[in-house]
Structure 1
């Protein structure tokens, strides 16, 4: 019998059995009690990650819509329109409707499918909307809602209700209400309403897998249900009081709760800006079912591994010493990082031969995978750089073509010719697929073409001054970095100035870096200024090329705005940080 045999093979087999079986048994006992906890933890983490994504989507959207309402409230043209106490002619009111329509469309709200209603209090005809008709709900200053809103002590608030939009066949569940106050007298001129459809929340819910009988609720600051994924009939009702008490403790930990004769695990999170609460209910039976399936699977795997360990121990115990030593030595070299070696299979004609052959193939595959991962990383960075570089401001192109149209109508043929020539050079340089790396001289030439166009638009209102270090004009740099900085100074600085605008373009060397500095005397710089898409793209491209310490910085000194772009001098050919970024 095997166990009575005192040969080396039998002793080795018995040793393998003890070494393999005892840890497996201990591991099985431990895992049985530990797996339940780990599964719950995994479900918790996965659910909370989904909740965090949902929180970011909803919070950012509500904040953006709040910014839209701020823009409308503070718009001077809308203020002037709402101050009117009567309309003398139909044409006068039609002109105001067109003005409001143009202002609202400038923020691209129609693409977001968010109805906007603007109600003036000084005349019954001061009603404007992005919809085909004005909602009766907001149609009169004598209505119950308007009188209720007037009594609120806050200028901006949320109104939870469920209203069916008959034309669109969509339910409105939340309205952002904002009082429009006269910027000079602080009297209330009217209201702006932004309706949010239930469809918006449904589209978010669809992105996350939901168990049967599970549900997601969106609550306002007072615990009132805005909407949910399942019932749709509880909008404006207050959520379960006991559940709200636990949520309001603010621990943000999931908990178990009995509701409607069913046990749930409750996950929740409070939105940072709006203070809304997202509550997700998952029936405990689904969580326990997954635990049972995984535990049963683990037990089956354990049995298979246990039986396999017995068979493998018996089969390998007779031929193990020298071939295994050779295999072990090679593996140690690989562990140290040597991937250019392989197992010598000379004089091997048994199972060790197959193991060694497989190991050699594995090393070969690892080398191939390392090269593939590197190439994927390189291609991903290249694609990201191309995407950032390719974005051209459509407003600039539209304004340029509009200027050409009016100059042509006025018969200013020479100006038209100059502007078309400069625009053609500008576009040819911008969309060119060759030479992503250019000299500073070439990019500054592009700026001159751009400013020729802008001078024709601004005429005598704009003065450009240059302070260029000529010794660095032939240094290499990524293409299209300077133009968005100059455009930002024009649009956000000079364009709204009533006085003559001055832009100073400086290029100089600072230590081992090159600095592009755009200075303007515009008065529209705000402390909470945030970079738009154009400047953000430039900043991202610079960081991809040179590193996180480089990029764009803004400062306001002596009534002047300083936009400083810093790049490095280490761009040699097309390689940065040891990685190729050729287009």
Structure 2
């Protein structure tokens, strides 16, 4: 699982919170605005349809009154009753005068019961018969009992002009109420159309009029009158009295026009709502993006300042892991981070104190081990050397007694080294030379040795008593175990980084071929050799290493690789002196 930095995580959390907040507010505002706009559309639609209904009623009322007045006119009744059949010109003149008073009146037609007609349109072609009571349109007019009737929209197919009109038809009766004929006025659409076109029903909204049989009286799209498909498309609107269509794209409101069989249907499109919804969406989207950018920028600035102490603390920890233990965390930032840095620094100080205490203890342990080594070596070695001197004295070999005694004295003087733990390389080589000289007095021709140093490293300072245990190991575990003449070589060499001290012997070697590392030889070599290895590791750390080469019954070679610290150690020695 991929781990992301704290800054990235916090910024992500802030972005999620900001987006969630803006989304929530946007949805609430969206819902509230949509509801308010819907209510506004509903209110405006109802109000507009009511006003238009009243206007149409006021518009139709005088037309119906005009029709009634004409139907009761004496000249028209006389002509229809066949009393004065020759006055058709006076009737025509009367109807033309009525048409002249209203530009919406397209034509006036009088049809008598016996099929005679008088029309203001000379091109009128009307189906008549001697018994007009059998004609449907004629019967529909007289069924209203001398009351005006509004007919649905129709095209003036009875004339050469193909215009859509509605008609006001009224029965003409005599004083006794007997049918004499039917009078019809054809009304054009301009006034009704102008009134309904002014309705604020949205870009896709419209209004239309139907009668009580759901026949279209008016529709802004005239093709509806003749297209059954388009008529069928209007039926869903007729099924809704006051509400929304199934797809929620339109609001429908119906209002019965007073004093008529007509119903005004208003279909308000919700494009205003959709437009506002789009505006809200894009506004909140833009606001959200801007808010995210501002919040993101501000968050980065704030969080960087807040996280910087944590990052600095992390860098200090990494540096300390690499060995730079002098660094300390900056005690800055929030109170919590300041307390954390203070506690961390206090912990580092405590660790340093413990490490100093441990180092002092290990140094003391090293000194105790060195003293223990000297106490282990000196009595045993001194006993054997004194035994050899006594033996020489018994044989009156005074010269050798003097030489061995001087060598022994010099050996102990170099070993003590005025109480210093460190010694010059030349003195360490001299010390091991005195040891080998004394041992040769005991072993005679069985032991030969060579000690070879490098003048350039004569003053190189090293811990004392590191070669004598290796030489002792070579004698007791190597030379002493074979019957041939033994040879021990102590040499000094160098590499680019190390000074190499080598102790070689042609003794027994290591019998087990698997024992080829320093640990195996340390196990065989005893306490003295182990102490040397531990002391050098404690002093030099990882810069020191021991290398062992051996072949069974052939040789053993031990190499001590010491880091070149000549100048530093020499200065330390001078200060101690």
Shared fold by TM > 0.5? Answer: no
TM-score, normalised by the number of residues in structure 2? 0.39
Q: Which has the larger radius of gyration?
A: 2
TM-score, normalised by the number of residues in structure 1? 0.39
- Between Structure 1 and Structure 2, the one with more helix by share is 2
